[in-house]
Amino acid sequence: MRYVPYWQDSATPFAGAAPGPVAGDYDVAVIGAGFTGLGAARRLAMEGRSVVVLEGATVGAGASGRNGGHLNNGIAHSYPAAMERFGAQGARALYHAFDAGIDTIARIIAEEGIACGFRRSGKLKLASKPGHVAGLRRNFEAVQREADPDTEWLDRPALEAEVLSDAFHGGMLQRRSAMMHMGQFVSGLAEAATRRGAVIHEGAAVTALARAGAGWRVQTARGAVRAGQVLLATGAYTGDAFPWFRRRIVPVGSFIIATAPLTDAQIAGSVPGDRTYVNSMNIGNYFRLTPDRRLIWGGRARFSARSDQRSDARSGAVLKAALAEVFPQLADVGIDYCWGGLVDMTADRFPRAGQAEGVWFSMGYSGHGAQIATHMGEIMADRIMGHERANPWQDLPWQAVPLHSGKPWFLPLVGMYYNLKDKVS
């Protein structure tokens, strides 16, 4: 078993990082070389702005290269609850922001010729208990009526053509959802940004940020740059130099395993629909096939803010047991990959984007960033350049999490709460 992300291990690494020290004057400094930062850098460079991307590790080393590979359209929240909070028009706008995010990815892939296996697979949200069916169906009916007619309800007999397991009792199909190879896309996006003129420094974690005249001085361990504007795009990997943001982001571990390649018969007997799948538990699982026919199976597994080999291995054992419970026909399939990563959660699980303390930012995707992060990078780039561009999260207040300074000591308590909810639901 390899304790590395499958997406990173099976993609050609980005090889265009700038050599030498970090130095120079730029219009914009982007902190973080994931989907948000690279989407912004590409857009800025295309508009003729000088832009530097400062990445603490390597391109795609954070959430952009450590996720489950889903590009799921629409909001993951209860749609009726979103209507109650934001009104019918507001909920619809938020739902379609995620749709626009997938459209942006498809457009960039076509414009830049990125080979990453993108396709509109559709997503199935699966009811894990008979008691979950009514609530999930109400959500489906609201979504179909108010926001997305390209959806369908599948009762249990209809699921047999999609996913073969006694664990599921109905499902909501959203056809606009997609999938791609995340490692290939993030490397291709970085290459596109550099072709357009952006400078990318790897191994350049930002250690300090200070005002310098009308702009900023951005310090790293390898030198410093001056920039007129700064965009923070680090999510759960936001460092100590940004305490305002750390008090508002809760880093939560999400863990994933990938099986050995499945045979055609094994696929036909488990996930013949070949879509992205997610179940309805609070501590749930998500899964999909890879281009080389492995089954990726992920979930919270354990409520922890640690992701290292020891933590990942413990979580991997939990995930393997859950996989065998849902698909006993795959219980003997080998596990080739096990990895973890941090999800940037907000208290209400909606993203935040805008400007705070003079710094532009977009983060807080709460486990649903792959489909919207690149799109938000472009939106923030346009806002930085002074272009009129709607920001779907502009008006959401963002209060600090009480008693939280960046290290979420309360996660075990949260895990106990959601475990209890799953048992009684």
3-state secondary structure the chain: CECCCHHHHCCCCCCCCCCCCECCEEEEEEECCCHHHHHHHHHHHHCCCCEEEECCCCCCCCHHHCCCCEECCCCCCCHHHHHHHHHHHHHHHHHHHHHHHHHHHHHHHHHHCCCCCCECCCEEEECCCHHHHHHHHHHHHHHHHHCCCCEEEEEHHHHCCCCCCCCCCEEEEECCCEECCHHHHHHHHHHHHHHCCCEEECCCCEEEEEEECCEEEEEECCEEEEEEEEEECCHHHCCCCCHHHHCCCEEEEEEEEEECCCCHHHHHCCCCCCCEEEECCCCCEEEEECCCCCEEEEECCCCCCCCCHHHHHHHHHHHHHHHHHHCHHHCCCCEEEEEEEEEEECCCCCCEEEEECCEEEEECCCCCCCCCHHHHHHHHHHHHCCCCCCCCCCCCCCCCCCCCCCCCCCHHHHHHHHHHHHHHC
Hey, what CATH class is 6-66+183-250+347-403 in?
A: alpha beta
Mean pLDDT (the chain, rounded): 93
pTM: 0.94
C-alpha dihedral (166, 168, 170, 176), degrees to nearest 10: -120
pLDDT at 377: 98
What is the pLDDT confidence band of residue 205, given thresholds at 50, 70 and 90? very high
pLDDT at 421 over 70: no
Structure tokens at 235: 């999510």
pLDDT by residue (tens digit) across 338-363?
Answer: 998 889 999 999 999 999 999 999 99
pLDDT at 406: 80
pLDDT at 301 over 70: no
pLDDT by residue (tens digit) across 55-68?
Answer: 999 999 999 999 99
Task: Name which of 319, 292, 320, 285 is nearest 128 in CA terms.
Answer: 285
Let me know: does 99 contact 143? Beta carbons within 8 Å: no
Q: Which residues contact 320 (CB under 8 A, 6 or more apart)?
A: 257, 335
pLDDT at 304: 58
pLDDT by residue (tens digit) across 251-278?
Answer: 988 899 999 999 999 999 999 999 999 9
pLDDT at 170 over 90: yes
pLDDT by residue (tens digit) across 189-204?
Answer: 999 999 999 999 999 9
pLDDT by residue (tens digit) across 396-406?
Answer: 999 999 988 88
pLDDT by residue (tens digit) across 304-323?
Answer: 555 666 777 888 899 999 99
Question: Whole-angstrom Cα distance, residue 214 to residue 227?
Answer: 9
pLDDT at 195: 98
pLDDT at 49: 98
What is the pLDDT confidence band of residue 234, given thresholds at 50, 70 and 90? very high
pLDDT by residue (tens digit) across 370-416?
Answer: 999 999 999 999 999 999 999 999 989 999 999 888 877 666 555 55
